[in-house]
Structure 1
Amino acid sequence: MKVSPTRSRPAGPLGADVAWFFTIAILLCFAISVPMVFRLVPTDLYNVITPIMQMTPLLAAIIMWLIRRPGTFRSTFATGWRGAFGWAGIGIGLIAAIAAIQTAIAVATGIWTLNPVDQIIGTAVWILPVFVMQSVFAIGEEFGWRGWLATRAASWGFWPLAVVSGLVWIVWHLPVLAVIGDLPFWDIVIYFAGMLPWAPLLLALRWRSGSVWPAVLTHGAINSIRVYLLQSVPNATDHLLIEVIGWVLTLAAAVWLMRKGGAPFVRDAVRPAQA
């Protein structure tokens, strides 16, 4: 999908491009969620609609790329694999470590208890297939948020981009309310607030590696390995302290990755190319 240099066009105003990307991604996601929001389809179909919703950031990014075409698909979406596996390993390891620390603290303080050993072992067989499935589903999100957007808005700097994209990511997730059902207001606030720390971590992996794939695979780990460690290993209940510990550790991991000389055991870390 390479684009000839003679056909490349100026990137256009950065703010307008980003605003259009956000708008298209959100409107597409909301439109696809209509059957769930208004209960027009059986709940069994939610598992079909949700992965389609996850594709909307990618669709929005492709639309913007086709309009602007500042470079090749590979460079704009950062789809190169060089060094990606090492950074993906770091991301997945951080996800597992943070979740394990949360569970260990909750069990040690008596907030949670462990599930029966046979149950823990029995559910472990699903970690790999669920991880693969969730990573595939995450492509649609990450190619948009940490692929096209991270390249196009690289000049904003890491933390401004992480905060803005994280807030918009929360808005994009609002149709999830149709799936999780009726919850107390503060539970909803905590649920959505918990998404914000993931944006810096995923962007840090993309930023340091120069590839979108570590963000994709780490996103898959969030929805598989993390869920296993926090929900299958312990008999977990909602608890604000354990949530806050996870938020703090996730932000700390992003800071560690982005500090100069962070993760020195991975070679040739590069910043994302600007459009």
Structure 2
Amino acid sequence: MNQKKGMLDIGIFILVVLGITLVFNLIKAPLFIMLAQAAPMLAVIVMLIFFGNRKETFLKMGVHRLGKIRWYLVAILASVPVILSFLVAWSVGIVDLPTTEHFPAGMTQVGRLFAMIQFYLGFMYLTTPLVFAFAEEIGWRGFLQVRLSEELGEKKAWLYTSMVWVIFHYPFYLNQYNEDGNVWINMVLFTVTILPLGLVMGWVRTKSQSIWPVVLLHMLINHIRSFMTEFFHQKEFGWSYIVGESGLVALVIWSLLAWMIWKNSKTEEKSLKCYIRTSRV
């Protein structure tokens, strides 16, 4: 692919994603805010309709490959820091369980835990975060990272995809993306936490040659955070600085993982032809 044409496609994709996200958040209607989360997928549709070879683009996105089971295990392990962050916050009293006096008669903390697990494993509560994780990842690690890797190499592709992914979330703060704490502190923490997470996800995408492990990782992070936020119902002001995908605990762990991955990954100027070739194996 001609480098100038490749960078132009990348620029158009980024502008379409960020434009849709900003406009939909400015409208402020719940439906549009929800659709803004699918902006990366909408931008991919635009690219498939108006720019480039559709079959080639589809092959590069890794949708048709499942990848090896070990990358799904890596995805599961990479989501564990969200759980650990809540446990750390619980141990120091920043978050806590609701008292049993508010429970239905006879329900214990253990009973509530299993009831919540059953609820969150329901069809709708599993498919909704899965759909939105796919709607993002088809754009980030399916389209953008693969295009950047052709032009700039794998490691830069991981980094720049993560940066665009972070910027994509900023318009959501117009609609109380995080209601706890100071919005500016939350945005800073979100930025410095999601960047290393993006590197980890980019690495998983490259090694697995499939989009599905990173979709699973993205879905697990969102779903676990939602579950733990409800489970530890009582919270002190500023709890979000510690827990979740933008808290200090996850920041430390994901930063260590990203540093090890970056340090041990060679700088590769890998052509996207490699993705197409290996996708046919």
Instruction: Give the TM-score of the pair, scaled to structure 2.
Output: 0.74
Pairing partner for 2:37 from 54, 59, 62: 54
The Cα of 1:20 is off from its aligned counterpart by 1.5
* 123-132 or 199-208: bigger deviation: 123-132
* 123-132 or 144-153: bigger deviation: 123-132
1:120 and 2:134 aligned: no
Are the equivalent residues in 2 in contact too, given 1:99–1:230 (CA < 8 A)?
A: no
- What aligned pairs does 1:236-247 form with structure 2 within 5 A after superposition? 236-237=235-236, 238-239=238-239, 240-241=241-242, 243-247=247-251
The amino acid of 2:204's aligned partner reads L
Pairing partner for 1:29 from 14, 21, 24: 21
1:163 and 2:187 aligned: no
Are the equivalent residues in 1 in contact too, given 2:141–2:161 (CA < 8 A)?
A: no
Tell me what 2:139 maps to: 144
Tell me the number of residue pairs that the alignment of Structure 1 and Structure 2 aligns: 248
Distance, in Å, in 1 between the alignment partners of 2:175 and 2:68 is 33
Distance, in Å, in 2 between the alignment partners of 1:177 and 1:113 is 26
Tell me what 2:66 maps to: 82
The amino acid of 1:172's aligned partner reads F
The amino acid of 2:143's aligned partner reads W
Q: Secondary structure at the match of 2:195?
A: coil
> Cα deviation per residue 1:188-238 (whole Å; 9 max; x = unaligned)?
433444433331122122111000111112111111023323552474443
The Cα of 1:19 is off from its aligned counterpart by 1.4
Are the equivalent residues in 2 in contact too, given 1:200–1:251 (CA < 8 A)?
A: no
1:135 and 2:139 aligned: no
Are the equivalent residues in 2 in contact too, given 1:21–1:60 (CA < 8 A)?
A: yes
More helix by share: 2
Are the equivalent residues in 1 in contact too, given 2:21–2:36 (CA < 8 A)?
A: yes
Distance, in Å, in 2 between the alignment partners of 1:233 and 1:259 is 37
Q: Secondary structure at the match of 2:275?
A: coil
- What aligned pairs does 1:94-243 form with structure 2 within 5 A after superposition? 94-95=78-79, 97-115=80-98, 117=109, 118-129=111-122, 130-155=125-150, 156-180=152-176, 184=182, 185-233=184-232, 235-237=234-236, 238-239=238-239, 240-241=241-242, 243=247
Q: 5+ unaligned residues in a row in structure 1: which ranges?
A: 1-8, 262-270
Q: Taking structure 1 as reference, are residues 119 and 272 closer, same or farther at Cα in structure 2, changes over 3 Å only?
A: farther
Are the equivalent residues in 1 in contact too, given 2:140–2:161 (CA < 8 A)?
A: yes
Q: Secondary structure at the match of 1:195?
A: helix
Pairing partner for 1:68 from 52, 57, 62: 52
The Cα of 1:256 is off from its aligned counterpart by 5.1
* 216-225 or 229-238: bigger deviation: 229-238
Tell me what 2:275 maps to: 273
The Cα of 1:115 is off from its aligned counterpart by 4.3
Distance, in Å, in 1 between the alignment partners of 2:17 and 2:259 is 28
Are the equivalent residues in 1 in contact too, given 2:38–2:136 (CA < 8 A)?
A: yes
Tell me what 1:248 maps to: 252
Distance, in Å, in 2 between the alignment partners of 1:159 and 1:56 is 24
The Cα of 1:29 is off from its aligned counterpart by 1.8
Are the equivalent residues in 1 in contact too, given 2:155–2:262 (CA < 8 A)?
A: no
The Cα of 1:258 is off from its aligned counterpart by 6.5
Q: Taking structure 1 as reference, are residues 205 and 28 closer, same or farther at Cα in structure 2, changes over 3 Å only?
A: same
Q: Taking structure 1 as reference, are residues 34 and 110 closer, same or farther at Cα in structure 2, changes over 3 Å only?
A: closer
Q: 5+ unaligned residues in a row in structure 2: which ranges?
A: 100-108, 266-272
